[in-house]
Amino acid sequence: MLLAVAGGKGGCGKTTVAVNLALSLEGEVQILDCDVEEPNVHLLLTHQPAWEKPVTVSMPSFNMEKCLLCGKCSDFCQYNAIAQLPKRLLFFQELCHSCGGCKLVCPAEAIVEVERTVGVVKGCRAEGGLSLVYGVLNVGEPRPIPVVEAVRAEANPKGTVIIDVPPGASCPVVASIRGVDRLLLVTEPTPMGLHDLALMVDVARRLNLRFSVIVNRAGLGGNSVYDFCRREGIPVLMEIPYSRRIAEFYSKGVPFVKAMPEWKEKFREVFRSLQEG
């Protein structure tokens, strides 16, 4: 089963749920951290780094001896990554989407594609027999998608795979959850939690995914998140209480099921209901 843990809002408990769920399950379990801008899963699990692979994207390289300065490549580029000056070209690599169009339209074969590293994927064995894979986007790179896709490419097709999804509701989230079997949406019962949950429900519906909700910091706010779930027919599978103790474990980088093992059974129950429903 390929299961993603998302939520829209930052800091709503996605990583907490993903890690504690992973540590509660038996059998072959893999956790993929797709929040490549700020990966945090590896901070909560003891592990030994085992392997790493650079993530590269292609970009054009211009042979100025062949270039006719005809302007076709800069006209074609939808991302304004190529600027045509009277006697030369300027290329802005961060704006390039690696579509390959410039090479295609160049009449002089002056463009070849070269690879550029934008991040890294790391994998290892972590505590509890988990397999951990996480991506790290290089600081200053604007586009996380290639790194997210490289992380997802490591998914073990045979076991249980849990994906920790970045915050927000845009393209990196879509790349992290597209095609998963089940989506868990973590929220908190605040106006912000509800607002961002509703956005994630829209994304999930747009992608035809099956989803359910976990309420984190239950008891913090009002009932609006529960009312929303009831109205929309979304199952609420678990509530994690608003607890200073749980917050303190998180602050130390300790998954709370290690200190409060009674929660493991609750997480297993969530997993069983996902398998059944």
Which residues are near another protein by CB under 8 A?
8-12, 15, 35, 37-38, 40, 43-44, 76, 78-79, 97-101, 104-105, 137, 139-144, 166-174, 178, 190-192, 195-196, 199-200, 202-203, 206-207, 220-222, 244, 247-248, 250-253
**Closer Cβ to another protein, 159 or 221, answer by number:** 221
**Closer Cβ to another protein, 220 or 273, answer by number:** 220
CB of 89 vs another protein, minimal distance in Å: 18
Show the DSSP H helices in 25-144 as ranges: 41-44, 72-76, 101-105
CB of 233 vs another protein, minimal distance in Å: 19
CB of 142 vs another protein, minimal distance in Å: 4
What one-letter code names the amino acid at 185? L
Report DSSP state, residue 175: H
**Closer Cβ to another protein, 48 or 251, answer by number:** 251
**Closer Cβ to another protein, 48 or 223, answer by number:** 223
Query: Which of 174, 170, 182, 167 is closest to 152 using CA atoms?
Result: 174
End-to-end C-alpha distance for the chain, whole angstroms: 13
**Closer Cβ to another protein, 154 or 188, answer by number:** 188
Counts for the chain of helices (H) and strands (E), in that order: 11, 11
The pair of structure tokens assigned to 67 is 């270039």
CB of 40 vs another protein, minimal distance in Å: 4
Helix (H) / strand (E) element for 272: namely helix 262-276
- What is d(CA 126, CA 134) in angstroms, rounded to the nearest whole number? 12
Output the CA torsion sign for 274, 259, 17, 142.
Answer: negative
Which residues make beta-bridge pairs with 238? 214
Q: How many residues does the chain have?
A: 277
CB of 277 vs another protein, minimal distance in Å: 23
Strands 82-84 and 29-33: unpaired
**Closer Cβ to another protein, 150 or 271, answer by number:** 150
CB of 144 vs another protein, minimal distance in Å: 5
